A and B are shown apart, each in its own frame.
Chain A
Amino acid sequence: MSIGPDILVSGRRQIVALSIFLVIQTLGTVFYVGDVIADLREDPASAHFVFEAIVTAALVLGVILGTFALRRTIELLRSQEQALAVARGALSEVIEGQFDAWALTPAERDVGLLALKGLDVAEIAELRGAAQGTVRAQLTRIYSKAGVSGRAQFAAFFVEDLLSGGLKAA
């Protein structure tokens, strides 16, 4: 039983917030489009109409971009969920216990799991929607907490202890 990773909870919140925003945006846009069409029948040359038409076009564009952004966020969250579900295989409890012993933060735990899965910095950064520099810094902190020199030793830590049949006390 693990605690739900913070990154997924905040991802879900982001999706809900983006969706509510998108709905409100769409409502406003449809009302504005109706208004512009009504104005079009009255006086299409007025400055009022031209201004409103430009604003409305921006709103329509905003809805379309918002839709794309929302879908991307949903797909990103799903790939994160999938990656984390795979990462939590049979090893998960052992790894979680060790991460506890090292006192890793929730974000460091996620990054650590992905690193153990063999993802490189660029892939982890893309999955988490973070900058590569952030991921590199997190990895450095993880290595220092674990007392290993780098990624190879970090991965070897678990393999070695599994082979020797148990984890040493941290």
Chain B
Amino acid sequence: MIQTNVNDLTIQAATVNGSGSQTANLVLTRAIFHMGIPVAPKNVFPSNIEGLPTWYQLRITPEGHMARSDKVDVLIAFNVATWKEDLKTVRPGGVVIHEDAFSTADARTDVTYYPVPFAKLAKAKIQSDTLRKQLANMIYVGVVAGVLGIPWEALEHGVKRQFLAKPKAVQVNLDAIKVGFDYWQDNFSKQDHYHLEPMTGVVEGKVLVEGNQAAALGALMGGVTVVAWYPITPSSSLCEYVIAYADRFRENGDGEKKISVVQAEDELAAVGMAIGAGWAGARAMTSTSGPGISLMAEFSGLAYYAEVPVVIFDIQRIGPSTGLPTRTSQADLGFVYTLSHGDTKHLVLLPGSVEECYEFGRDAFDYSDRFQTPVFVLSDLDLGMNLWMTPAFKYPEKPFDRGKVLGKDDLEKLAGEWARYRDVDGDGVTYRTLPGTDHPAAGYFTRGSGHDESARYTEGADAYARNMDRLARKLETARHALPAPVIDEAGRKVGLIAFGSTHAAVVEARESIDVDYLRVRALPLSDDVVEFIARHEHVYVVEQNRDGQLFDLVRLALPPQLVDRVRSIRHYNGQPIPAAAIVEPLKQQEMIPA
């Protein structure tokens, strides 16, 4: 009955926030990854500095599935407050490593227990009073290593990699791991069927990167020089990575910095500074999340209407209002697309992997300069703050695209004959000059009020309508230039449409349901979406929000006869969508037996 389970399990560590458990979890993750085994970590953390429960899920699959698992194979129970509930989540036949002091009076009988006196061990074996609490977590790393067969060499690598900047910490952490490892060796014999074995074929050439790290690197490679931000979870780490990377790569030997990162007084100022910098010719960005994006609405409309380049990262969390500040969602899509009053519409990039967080984080600056408009990069907490296995990023081969900017020489050639908002090329994209351009015809007046082709104030009806029509034309030009959908199609009857971090769950779901797949990567929607739907009997739009926001946008783009083909699958509890949340409703609706 018991069958050996190799490299296919989900570990869940239930710990206390602020106790140092994240470091232990990352060491475990890196050690297993070092064995050549694919890992997919998800950190479920509270909006709290210290004391509330937190969970770390480490999913391990030989295929390299990246979506969240809804099953737990190995529970590390370290938090007495959630112990009873945590125990219920373990799959029958699973493993429970728990603090020996926790009551097992009414515990389940269908799991294997490895009770460990963590507190006593920490007290007896860890000499440093100040580090004891943190290092106690490392003891469970040692126990897990014993249970699953993680070689010592992999643990060493995990610790060294984790403490790259603090080599002094390596030995004390290894010592703590050894305490757990030895305790397991001395006190238990293997009772369960889970094993980890070194493997090859999937992780070679891959790295572990958070989406916010990737976006920060992308922004630097995209040439950002002005970053204005206001701290907010889950976007803060993006700007903090920019700061860290800029300290390393943007500083001259003499202390000069080729970037300015400003912690603004609020999100209004943050986006305002970025827009001011974009107007003056720098590549500028801000990064925020839910409440912050609401505050940026007015300025976003100004940048749209006055046609100022700026890149705005929205690392989505779940709302409305403060919502669950540390939980994920894709519910800003509709709001961001038309952010601000009036007929405002924006370019929105939708990265579906950390690699795309890097690429879109970089190319957003090109799109923004080229179309002289805000470009939103819509990531989310799951993508942004969790580590994802990814191929190493590619070095960009193309130079910056700074768009239609007239310099002094251009103006001389034109004998000063230009107008800021005149559509010379018929694509809706007009020519701009930067402040500081040494030519008497360079100056113009930028405003959020009504303006004519020469940027003069007007309340004229025709001039207003003409300008708005041109802006629509510009958006149409951009629509064809933005990243096209990725389509994987083989003439099946049913199709799936998804975007962003939902991608990981779709990839996995498609192993158990035979469907075609289109992944949207930008708004406004590509014509490919309509055509894809036209080729299928049913198309399911899968997304992580309550109201089916992409579903709505897709239906709006369709001719009436296609509207009924589209159906909606939604997941919105703050947890990253698992594959089962796609497979089950789809099978039900398509009447495929489970």
On whether the two chains bind one another, the answer is no
Interface residues of B (CB under 8 A from A): none
A residues near B, CB below 8 A? Answer: none
